[in-house]
Amino acid sequence: MKTSLVIATLGIKDELEQLLTSFSNQSYNISDIEVIIVDQNEKNFLNSTLKKFKNLNVIYIHSDIKGLSFNRNIGLKKATGDIICFPDDDCLYYIDTLSSVVKFFEANQSCDVALGRIYDRVDNINIIKTWPVQEKSIFTFNVYFMSSSITIFIRASVLISFDETLGVGARFGSCEDPDLLYRLLTQGKRIVYTPSIDVWHPTPDESNISLFKVSSYASGFGAFIRKDFDFVKLYLLLGCIIKKCLQFLFMNKKFKKGYFKAFFTGLYKGITQF
């Protein structure tokens, strides 16, 4: 089973080299790995890095347009694998990540998408989310809480494009991943979360996040909610508003000054599409 790894990269060199090294070290057959790099940097920025990985099947594409979803879609058009995945340029695959993916799909022929977890095996801790320890079926009411683009492994036969208005560098700066999965669920595709697939990603420093990012990410959530609005998305919106109000009332000092104004401004922008 061939896998295509689509990476949209910008401003990253050392971390990308570490990621490619983790691909080279896979217990999975390296000849069945296709690495598609969509490079948004200046031309020649990655030349010295890519020369180190002649053992990998790397398809290199240079893009003059910035945007995570836009450039992932460019990479998707070149993908020839049976399974497609979307590693960030600063994440890492464990030695058994891809072999675990293939093993899962071979054992679950009716599954269209597998969702793994972001996990630190050294310290045995979850990263970014509290990932369940048991396998779970994914539906529209829980997909938002289980989605992260780097943990999505999807059969090429059901693949759809990312919404290019969502995601880093787009008009609305997040939620391209739950949107993709939500649309697949509404098409009747089967999605399963499994803790048997691990990837690693550095833990974000939320205390130093810029107010621009706060607003941008919130606008992405708002745009996701507004798109094909339904009862489940109403539930997500109300839950988010209640959570932020409680944080404002009882945990205000833990957040950067201006955080809540930036968040709700971004949320309004995403919902109204202004």
Domain of 35, CATH number, reads 3.90.550.10
Same-domain status, 26 and 75: yes
Q: What is the dihedral of CA 16, 19, 20, 22, to 10 degrees?
A: 160
pLDDT for 191-202, tens place per residue?
A: 999 999 999 999
Domain end position, chosen among 165, 200, 235: 200
pLDDT of res. 206? 75
pLDDT for 141-153, tens place per residue?
A: 999 999 999 999 9
Burial bucket for residue 171 (CB in 10 Å: 0-12, 13-18, 19+)? middle
pLDDT of res. 87? 98
What residues in the chain have per-residue pLDDT under 50?
none
pLDDT of res. 127? 97
Same-domain status, 104 and 219: no
Same-domain status, 107 and 234: no
pLDDT of res. 205? 82
Number of domains in the chain: 2
pTM of the model: 0.96
The C-alpha atoms of residue 225 and residue 198 are separated, in whole angstroms, by 28
pLDDT of res. 274? 72
- The residue range of the domain holding 57 is 3-200
Same-domain status, 85 and 44: yes
